[in-house]
């Protein structure tokens, strides 16, 4: 199974990318407030608990005094994460000094949850109703099989050993977001999102396309976060789910996050470890998986695996030379990496994959991947990636300073402000919030 902290980090990034209005909707649920608190870096958790019963803004300078000088970098990471997730909001006083306070809705519901607790909308079903439930080992095997089947169909359907239950419409959604094809003569290639997907980032694409399927992304995220409070291997009655949640569990079953079973009168779903660990703390390293990759200083690669999926993943950035029944032999070359970079895969993603999947014989070494290999991968990428392009729009000729500052605050609130010039009254905002920005400026007129 994947290392769950990687999934958690990406999943929380997905939560952080929601619009401010939808984030506030999530924080109506006290259990989600707890999930968000658990996902935060240790110092950020400390700040939340210190501010939990303070109802006035605290200056940034005051909070900087809460840490020693050598902890300032961790302080900045904690503040940035709290603002990204809108757990904490940033304002400025008349002297333009930053002030922080907890999101009132998050603060109220977390207070209530800590003092009074809460009851989940469903409890595990008694054993006398359910049929024999799968063991944890059987459940993990089911999850792995579902993932591998789906991923192989996505990358190379000819390599897949069996058909998948994923609907053709759902498969098209994933292929559109995760594969690209330059012309009809070339086979589809994985995009950057596709490579992340192979590292268990499927949830992001599933959430991103929720609106297209008539599903509110905030409702979908709320249910996925709620799953983290369930117990792996326990059965939960599907009658306690809404129609939307029943539809979601069918998709999650096809992807290996839950297993569906039917009894004589009742039906239930059983969460796998991947579903219950979606929001696990980044500090938790107890879920180390069994690695299979050995990289030598001469860039030779040995992967001790029988998985077709592992072989297909390695082909994305390495030259696979031959495959034995339980061993894949290849090499990381400049040409194979350039091909990966051109398809949108980054050096950090490749290095992270190699480190997370290091064979037990080398996993305990520091570093697990030779430094000359990681340094060279980054150097080869730097040859290609010298400029970052962000679609954006320039706004100028504001009628007054007040309208300009209101527009800056609005763009900053939505995470779309890239640059501002208070003297010339000009701002540049991301193209992602173009519609919202137009509507805001129309209201100002």
pTM of the model: 0.56
Q: How far apart are CA 314 and CA 405, in angstroms?
A: 50
Q: How far apart are CA 266 and CA 276, in angstroms?
A: 23
Query: For residues 38 and 12, is the Cβ–Cβ distance under 8 A?
Result: no
Across the chain, mean pLDDT equals 81
Among the residue ranges 10-14, 135-139, 188-192, 218-222, the one predicted with the least confidence is 188-192
Compute the residue count for the chain.
445
Q: Write phi, then psi, for 210 (nearest 5 degrees).
A: -60, -45
Q: Is the pLDDT of residue 193 over 70?
A: no
Q: Tell me the pLDDT band of 168, cut-offs 50, 70 and 90.
A: low
pLDDT in tens, 411-444: 888 888 999 998 999 999 998 888 888 888 888 8
pLDDT in tens, 53-68: 999 999 999 999 998 8
Q: Tell me the pLDDT band of 79, cut-offs 50, 70 and 90.
A: very high
Q: How far apart are CA 190 and CA 156, in angstroms?
A: 11
pLDDT in tens, 116-160: 877 776 788 887 777 788 888 898 888 878 877 777 776 655 555
Q: How far apart are CA 30 and CA 106, in angstroms?
A: 8
Query: For residues 35 and 8, is the Cβ–Cβ distance under 8 A?
Result: no
Residue among 246, 157, 171, 256 at smallest CA distance from 206: 171
The mean pLDDT value for 250-278 works out to 83
Token digits of residue 171: 């498969």
Q: Write phi, then psi, for 394 (nearest 5 degrees).
A: -100, 135
Q: How far apart are CA 425 and CA 431, in angstroms?
A: 19
Residue 279 is predicted with a pLDDT of 54
Burial class of residue 40 in the structure, from the number of CB atoms within 10 Å of its CB (0-12 exposed, 13-18 middle, 19+ buried): buried
CB within 8 Å of 245: residues ≥ 6 apart:
223
Residue 177 is predicted with a pLDDT of 56
Q: Is the pLDDT of residue 78 over 70?
A: yes
Torsion of CA 52, 55, 57, 62, to 10 degrees: -50
Residue among 110, 122, 111 at smallest CA distance from 33: 110
């Amino acid at each position: 199974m994947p290392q769950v902290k990687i999934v958690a980090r990406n999943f929380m990034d997905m939560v952080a990318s929601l619009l401010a209005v939808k984030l506030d909707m999530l924080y109506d649920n006290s259990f989600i407030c707890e999930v968000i608190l658990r996902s935060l870096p240790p110092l950020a958790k400390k700040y939340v608990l210190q501010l939990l019963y303070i109802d006035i803004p605290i200056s940034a300078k005051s909070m900087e005094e809460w840490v020693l000088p050598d902890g300032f970098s961790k302080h900045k990471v904690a503040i940035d994460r709290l603002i990204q997730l809108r757990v904490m909001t940033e304002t400025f006083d008349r002297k333009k000094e930053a002030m922080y306070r907890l999101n009132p809705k998050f603060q109220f519901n977390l207070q209530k949850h800590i003092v009074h607790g809460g009851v989940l909308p469903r409890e595990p079903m008694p054993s006398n109703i359910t049929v024999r439930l799968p063991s944890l080992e059987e459940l993990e095997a089911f999850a792995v099989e579902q993932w591998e089947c789906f991923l192989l169909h996505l990358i190379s359907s000819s390599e897949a050993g069996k058909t998948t239950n994923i609907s053709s419409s759902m498969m098209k959604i994933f292929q559109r977001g995760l594969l690209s094809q330059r012309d009809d003569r070339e086979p589809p290639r994985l995009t950057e999102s596709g490579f992340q997907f192979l590292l268990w980032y499927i949830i992001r694409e599933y959430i991103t396309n929720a609106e297209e399927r008539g599903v509110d992304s905030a409702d979908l995220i709320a249910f996925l976060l709620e799953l983290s409070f369930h117990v792996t291997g326990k059965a939960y009655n599907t009658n306690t789910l809404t129609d939307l949640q029943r539809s979601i569990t069918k998709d999650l079953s096809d992807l290996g996050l839950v297993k569906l079973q039917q009894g004589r009168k009742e039906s239930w779903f059983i969460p796998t470890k991947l579903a219950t660990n979606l929001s696990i703390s980044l500090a938790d390293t107890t879920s180390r998986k069994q690695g299979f990759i050995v990289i030598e200083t001469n860039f030779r690669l040995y992967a001790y695996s029988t998985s077709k999926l592992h072989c297909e993943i390695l082909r994305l950035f390495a030259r696979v030379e031959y495959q034995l029944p339980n061993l894949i032999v290849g090499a990381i070359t400049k040409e194979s990496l350039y091909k990966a970079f051109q398809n949108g895969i980054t050096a950090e993603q490749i290095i992270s994959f190699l480190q997370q999947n290091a064979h037990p014989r080398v996993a305990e070494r520091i570093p697990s991947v030779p430094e000359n290999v990681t340094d060279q991968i980054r150097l080869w990428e730097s040859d290609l990636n010298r400029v970052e392009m962000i679609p954006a729009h320039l706004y100028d000729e504001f009628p007054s300073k007040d309208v300009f500052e209101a527009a800056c605050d609005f763009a900053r609130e939505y995470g779309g402000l890239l640059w501002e010039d208070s003297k010339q009254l000009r701002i540049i905002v991301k193209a992602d919030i173009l519609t919202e920005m137009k509507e805001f400026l129309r209201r100002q007129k």
